[in-house]
Chain A
């Protein structure tokens, strides 16, 4: 017991030593740490200007600003709950003029990036699992066409860099099918992850003893029925841990789509660095945000595994 606490202490000490050395290293390059700037790029309380989209005359009644169009009398636009009003009753305003401002909580670019990364990951995940399942079933099929197609898909995808695949999806597939950036990005990630999931599914199916399929077939079940009711339920349980690892990879790999100008967490980080000149803080923050995403996913999956293990009886 005593020696265990000692080693926990050693662990803490090493972490502390690392932190100190990182700090010391930053001192040698004459860097001014400005952590106070970082929160503004996640969420901030700030004023935002509100602009009109019409050209017309201002009418103010009880703090409520209304713009009556002059070119089209039927058009009107109103602004309520303004914290500051910058126009007066009867003013003539043009399209794009600032009417007033309203203060409140704004979601900063890093938080937006996080949302986009989440969106990308979830969408890619939803598509990659069926793709992987299908390809995995193809890999273990006795039909040569299905088997070879699946093997070719897996080999090509696993044999080329994801970055190159993203470029191909964006510049070639995206152009031919006129896909949006987001669609191309999600498609590239889904197809990439699908190949890895296919191998996980294949390994899972092959880990089930041959006798299970034989027993199911001897009872008169078709291949599909045996797969669906006997093999896959058992295989899925075994594939959960490697599947979790792959999904965490997916979240991390999604950072590569920033090269086709999708403003995910990584691209947002780069943009914020350009405007703040605080690369150290921002990149550490971005890393931390990825870590929050992946760690919470790990946690959810571990819960799920425990529940399955309990249901195993």
Chain B
């Protein structure tokens, strides 16, 4: 069901000469939840986006379940199905109803029978607490509800890894809890998760390991207890001091 992710020595040089990622390596075991934190511009979103090749790499590779993402260009679409992605801005398809948002990819990409897909979509909607909103359009939902639909949409492809790119950053504070609850449930179901986030509470409660990135490099990897332990005046401490203030 869930798969491992190996990020091997990934570097990314943008066209303007900015080194967004500098030889980053990170191994995430199957079923593990890893949160990535760091100041903006530290490359954490870029790193996440290299995992399903929304961002190409200059050097290095990413393996999902042992399969290379950045060399096997032919099966790219099949490989991408293994990694579901949830975006900061939800990116729901505004012209489709909630249920159609969820069923579109399984129907078009996997050519699964309509009934199976609809049933699964309904189950997923129930799971994210929106079982009665299938016929609504994204614009009729609150931000938190849209993000939960986006999670259901990603899960409909039955991914083995879930990537979250600041999933609660665009939400009103009172909407954050619902989304985090869905993510917690997903984590306890054993899904491999990579989460770029500013929600330190979530990282502390749910993550198996927390990664601190700065200037395109991983500065520190630790289990949450150790990670949030105040220590020695490092850059991590400065950062945590700012976000936890």
Contacts and interface: CB of A to CB of B under 8 A. Distances in A.
Given A214-B87, A214-B91, A215-B91, A220 B157 contact: yes
A189 B91 CA distance: 39
B78 interface: yes
B238 to A, nearest CB: 32
B200 interface: no
A220 B54 contact: no
Contacts of A219: 80-81, 84, 104-105, 109, 153-154, 157
Interface in B105-161: 105, 108-110, 137, 139-140, 150, 153-154, 157
A225 B91 CA distance: 16
A221 B93 contact: no
A229 B139 CA distance: 18
B233 to A, nearest CB: 39
Interface stretch (A16-24, A35-43, A145-153, A230-238): A230-238
B108 A237 contact: no
A214 B150 CA distance: 13
B52 interface: yes
Interface residues of B, number: 28
A212 B105 contact: no
B242 interface: no
B89 interface: yes
B93 A222 contact: no
Contacts of B78: 220
B41 interface: no
Most chain B CB neighbours (cut-off 10 Å) among A211, A212, A219, A313: A219
A221 B91 contact: no
Contacts of A181: none
B77 interface: yes
Interface in A199-235: 209, 211-212, 214-222, 225, 229-230, 233-234
A218 B80 contact: yes
B108 A218 contact: no
B109 A220 contact: yes
B94 interface: yes
Contact of B94 (A214, A222, A234): A234
B83 A218 contact: yes
B140 A212 contact: no
Nearest to B139: A313
A229 B108 contact: yes
A229 B107 CA distance: 11
B55 to A, nearest CB: 10
A215 B49 CA distance: 11
Contacts of B105: 216, 219-221
Contacts of A209: 89, 91
B76 to A, nearest CB: 9
Nearest to A218: B85
B54 A217 contact: yes
A223 to B, nearest CB: 9
30 contacts: A211-B91, A212-B93, A214-B85, A214-B87, A215-B87, A217-B54, A218-B52, A218-B80, A219-B81, A219-B84, A219-B104, A219-B105, A219-B109, A219-B157, A220-B105, A220-B109, A220-B110, A220-B157, A221-B77, A221-B109, A225-B108, A229-B104, A230-B93, A234-B94, A234-B95, A312-B95, A312-B137, A313-B137, A313-B139, A313-B140
**CB-based closest 7 A-B pairs:** A215-B91, A220-B81, A219-B105, A211-B91, A218-B85, A313-B137, A220-B109
